[in-house]
Amino acid sequence: MSDTAAHEEPELIQLLTPEGELTEHPDYPLDISAEEIRALYRDLVLVRRVDSEAITLQRQGELGLWVSLLGQEAAQIGSGRALHDRDMAFPSYREHGVAWCRGIQPKELLSMFRGASNGGWDPHEHGFHLYTIVIGSQALHATGYAMGVQRDGAVGEDGTAVISYFGDGATSQGDTNEAFNFASVNNAPVVFFCQNNQWAISEPLERQSRVPIYKRAAGFGFPGMRVDGNDVLACLAVTRAALDNARTGNGPTLIEAFTYRMGAHTTNDDPTRYRDKGELDEWKAKDPILRVRRYLEANGLADEAFFASIEEEADKVGETVRTQCRNMPDPEPLDIFHEVYAEPNVHIDQQRAEFADYLSSFEGAGAEGGR
Ligand SMILES: Cc1ncc(C[n+]2csc(CCOP(=O)(O)OP(=O)(O)O)c2C)c(N)n1
Ligand SMILES: [Mg+2]
C-alpha cells in the first residue's frame, strides 16, 4: 500500500502567521478594521477564560464533566463570527466559542455539565442547536435543516445558511458521510466545519483518514479546503465565503480547520498516557491568541491599557461564572421525565411513576421525591 496520498502536504489557508504577521490570500481577501480585530482578541481571551474556569470548577466537584476547547478558540470564534443572525449552527459538544458568538451565556453551558438543567437553550432564539454527543449525527441534522431552508425558499443574499461542527473522528462515521452525500445531491445550503484537532480521544488523525480530510469533499462533488484553524482571520474569511456560497445557492463546502486539542479530550481523560509532550510544545508556539496579540502590538493597534482591560474583564467573567455555577438550584429528580416527548407517552409515564415510588421509599421524602 502506498503512503503517498496520506503524506502529501496540503495547502493551508492562512492570513495571520504564528509570529503575528498579516499575509494575503488571493481567494480570501479580508476587509477588517483594527477595532474588529481587537473585538476578536477579546472573544478569544474571554472564551479561554470561561473554559479554564470550567475545568477548575469540575476539579472542585462543581461540574460533572467539562469538554475543553483549549487551542481551538480561533476556529470557533472565526467561524462563529462569520455567521449571520438568521443562520443556524449545529454543534457537537466542544463548541463553547461558537455558543459565545451566538449569545449563549456560559452559565447555560455550565448548567448542562453540572446536571442542573435537562435541556439547554432555545435553538431558534440563538440560531444554535443543542449540543450533540452522538458523534457525527448533527451533520445529518444540519443537512436536513438546510434542505428545509431550500423548501422554505430562504435562499439568496438575505437567505439562511447552515453550519455543522464536528471533529476529525466524526469523519469516520456513516452519518457524516451520508450527510455529505445528501447535501451534495440536493445542493443544500450547508457548511461542514470540521475542527481537525488531530485526536479523537486517544485515536490519532492517521487512524481516521488516508487522505487529508478536506480532500474527501471532492469525492462527494463539492469544494473542500484546509484552513489554519489557529488563525482567527483565516477562519473568519473562509467560513464567510463558504456561508455566502451556501446562502446564494452554490451548495455545500467542507472546511477543515487544522488545529490542535491542547488539553485533554474531557476532564475524564489523561492525554499523557497516549501522546508526546513534544507535540503539545510545538502547538503552544502556534497559539491562536498569542498571534493576534503579537499582530496588534507590532502594529501599534493596541496598547498595554487595552490588554489590561481585557484581562480585567476576563477576571470578572471568571468570577461571574464561578458564582453562577455554585448557586445553580438542583433540579427536581422527576423533572427529567418532562422533557423527553412533547406529547404524553405511556412508557415515560410508567418510568416516572416507578421512579417516584423509589424516591418516596426513602425516609422523610416528600410526594415529589424531594431530596
Ligand atoms: C456514535 C458515537 N460513537 C462513539 C462515541 C464516543 N466518543 C465520544 S467523543 C469521541 C471522539 C470524537 O472525536 P472527534 O470527532 O475528533 O471530536 P473531538 O472530541 O476531538 O472534538 C468518541 C468516539 C460517541 N459519543 N458517539
Ligand atoms: Mg478530534
CATH number for 45: 3.40.50.970
CA 200 to centroid of ligand 2, rounded, Å:
4
Could you tell me if 304 and 349 lie in one domain?
no
pLDDT tens column, 211-235: 999 999 999 999 999 999 999 999 9
pLDDT tens column, 237-264: 999 999 999 999 999 999 999 999 999 9
Could you tell me if 211 and 313 lie in one domain?
yes
Res. 1: pLDDT tops 70: no
Res. 371: pLDDT tops 50: no
Average pLDDT, the chain: 94
Could you tell me if 322 and 339 lie in one domain?
no
Could you tell me if 306 and 215 lie in one domain?
yes
Q: Is 208 in the pocket of ligand 1 (CB under 6 A)?
A: no
Structure confidence at residue 339 as a pLDDT band (50, 70, 90): confident
What does the block give as the cell for 196?
A: 481537525
Number of the ligand 1 atom closest to the C-alpha atom of 200:
13
Could you tell me if 341 and 278 lie in one domain?
no
Number of the ligand 1 atom closest to the C-alpha atom of 195:
21
234 φ, ψ to 5°?
Answer: -65, -40
Asked if 120 and 131 touch (Cβ cutoff 8 Å), the reply is yes
Pairing assessment for the beta strands 199-200 and 203-204 based on DSSP bridges = antiparallel
Owning domain of residue 362: 332-371
Selected residue with higher pLDDT from 10 and 243 = 243
CA 200 to centroid of ligand 1, rounded, Å:
6
Could you tell me if 264 and 337 lie in one domain?
no
Residues 6+ apart with CB under 8 A from 167: 92, 94, 135, 194, 195, 196, 197, 200
Res. 29: pLDDT tops 80: yes
Collapsed DSSP state (helix, strand, coil) of residue 260: coil
Which residue in the block uniquely carries the three cell numbers 453550519?
163
pLDDT tens column, 115-131: 999 878 999 999 999 99
Report how many domains make up the chain: 2
Collapsed DSSP state (helix, strand, coil) of residue 350: helix
Question: Which of 135, 138, 269 most suits a substitution to test ligand 1, by most atoms within 8 Å of the C-beta?
Answer: 135
Could you tell me if 144 and 19 lie in one domain?
yes
Could you tell me if 307 and 213 lie in one domain?
yes
Q: Which ligand is nearest the CA of 172, by number?
A: 1
Could you tell me if 44 and 162 lie in one domain?
yes
Which conformational region is residue 139 in: left (phi greater than 0), alpha (psi within -120 to 50 degrees), or beta? alpha
Least confident of 24-28, 92-96, 270-274, 333-337: 333-337
Q: Is 169 in the pocket of ligand 1 (CB under 6 A)?
A: yes
What does the block give as the cell for 35?
A: 477595532
Could you tell me if 346 and 203 lie in one domain?
no
Structure confidence at residue 365 as a pLDDT band (50, 70, 90): low
CA 170 to centroid of ligand 2, rounded, Å:
8
Could you tell me if 81 and 109 lie in one domain?
yes
Q: Is 134 in the pocket of ligand 1 (CB under 6 A)?
A: yes
Could you tell me if 115 and 250 lie in one domain?
yes
Cα–Cα nearest to 68, from 47, 83, 87: 47
